[in-house]
Structures are given as structure tokens and as C-alpha cells.
Amino acid sequence: MTAAQAVSGPLPQARPRHRRPIGLRLTLFVGLGLVAAAALSAIAAPLLAPHAPDAADLGARLLPPSWLRPSAYPLGTDAIGRDLLSRIIYGARVSLEVGVLSVAVSGIAGTCLGLLAGYYGGWWGELAMRAADLQLSFPFILFAIVVIAVLGPGLSRIVLVLAVTQWASYARLVRSETLAVRETDYIQAARAIGLADRRIIWAHVLPNALGAVSVLATLSVANNILLEAALTFLGLGADPSIPSWGGMLADSRNYIQTAWWDSTFPGLAIMLTVMGFNLVGDWLRDLLTPDTA
């Protein structure tokens, strides 16, 4: 192989010749369907929601679901007469916004830091990894309480907390991937013909880490949706005036025995959305894991 051929791109990964099992394809279809449903609800909420999410009607408070008879409230109403279906549809905006933005910020920051730490190494790499170890050892809930107590609750604060506490996972992952490829023949050949480090990192090292990063990012979105709901449930998340699934669970905790639907449907929305992202992440992991057979 000539030097020019060696630096033309990352070495092609072996791909299995046989088709993926039906179970893996079914996992992808179910996962994508759940994620698409949540995304569609967030994007087209004004078109899909039958009522305004904050429209209250005390005369219709705590109405049960009505699937078998015509009703203006198919999933019932909450304690002040707001339509549960409309609030769940609008609540998808909060969950996806926090999940996607926090992963984007932490993923980009951690990936860049991991690339530099793995490629250059030395004291810089050790310093970055010790900072990552320190971050990973700090309790998340304690950090979240301190930051939100100082800055106040809000979606931007939740995104900040999640991004600051999760960049280390991406940095460690990307650093390990970078260490595995920086001494390979095509990287050495790229250095030999005088390619700049920046081009080598972005054109030849980064593509080798994107597979693992995409799996971690997909699973992290699901995890961050749960964390946002938990923080909002504790009163540390979204403003109470904004419809969110965690806030709906918090509002319904006093009516679990008398109005089961008030907490069941927001909980199902969280469960199905998180399951969708987890299924897609599992499929990506299985797809990118080379077969040993």
C-alpha cells in the first residue's frame, strides 16, 4: 500500500455478509416508531393537541378517560380540568429539547477534548482525564441541587447541569478510541507525508470514534429525559407553567388512588420515549459490533 492510498481514508471495517436477524430489525422499527411519535408530537403539538395545554375547566376536573364514547378529553383531565392528552403532547417538547440539547453540548465538548487528549497525550491528556475522573466521581443530584439553587430552576439550567456532568463520559470514550488508532499504519503514513495534525484528527481519527459516540449519545438522550423528569418532579426543573411530563407526575401524586389516569399516562409517555431511544441505541450497538463468527 502506498502512502497516498494509506491516507485516503480510515481502514474499511469488516461487515458481515449475512443479513441481520429479524429481532434486530424489529428493534429498530419499534424504536424508531416510538422516537418518531415523540418527535412528531413535539414538532406538531399545536396541530395535534385538541386543547390548549394550560386551558383549565374546574367543571371538568379529574374526568376519567373515555375511549369508547365521544368526549372532548380522551385521556381525561387533571385536578384543575386541563386536558391530559394536550399536555402530554406539549410535554414532549420539554423532554426532547432537554435530552437532545444536553447531549449535543456534552457530546461535542467531550469528543473534542477526548480527541486532543488521545492524539497528543502527555501531561495534557493526563490532566484532561483526571478532570474527567473528578467529574465522574461527583454526585449528580448534589451538583444539580447546588447549581439550580444558585441559578434558579429552568430548562437552560437543566441543560447546563446535564452537559457539565456528562462531557467526561464522551471524553474518556473518544480518548480510548483515539489511542487505539493513532499508531496504526495509515495514521503513521499521513504523518510521514506531512499532513497537518488537524486534518489527521478530523479526517482520519474522528470517523473511527463516531460509531461509539453515536451509541452513547442515543442512550444518553434516553437517560437525560429521565433525569429531566426526575428534577422537574422534585421542583428543580421546568417552570410549573410549562407542561412537562415530570411536572405532570408531580401534580398528580396526590390523586394516585382516586385518579389513576392523571399519573399513568404521563408515566407511559416517559417510558415509551425512553424505551424508543434505548432500542435505537441497542440496535446501533449491535450493528457496529463486528461479528466474531
Confidence label for 33 from pLDDT (cuts 50, 70 and 90): very high
Q: Of 223, 224, 219, 178, which is closest to residue 202 (Cα–Cα)? A: 178
Please report, for the domain that includes residue 251, its CATH number: 1.10.3720.10
The H or E element that residue 119 is part of is helix 84-120
Output the pLDDT for position 99. Answer: 95
Alpha-carbon distance of 255 to 267, in angstroms, equals 14
pLDDT digits 0-9 by tens, 115-155: 999 988 888 888 989 999 998 888 888 888 888 888 888 88
What are the beta bridge partners of residue 83?
Answer: 77
Q: Which own/partner pairs from 268-272 qualify as long-range (CB within 8 Å, at least 24 positions apart)? A: 269/38, 269/88, 269/91, 269/92, 269/245, 270/95, 270/225, 270/226, 270/229, 270/245, 270/246, 272/34, 272/37, 272/38
- Whether residue 5 lies inside any domain: the answer is no
Confidence label for 21 from pLDDT (cuts 50, 70 and 90): low
Segments forming the whole domain that contains residue 137: 38-60+73-288
- Whether residue 204 lies inside any domain: the answer is yes
Cβ(190)–Cβ(7) below 8 Å: yes
Cβ(74)–Cβ(65) below 8 Å: yes
Output the pLDDT for position 69. Answer: 60
User: Does residue 63 carry a pLDDT above 70?
Assistant: yes
pLDDT digits 0-9 by tens, 161-191: 999 999 999 999 999 999 888 888 888 888 8
- Whether residue 108 lies inside any domain: the answer is yes
Q: How many domains does the chain have?
A: 1
- Whether residue 3 lies inside any domain: the answer is no
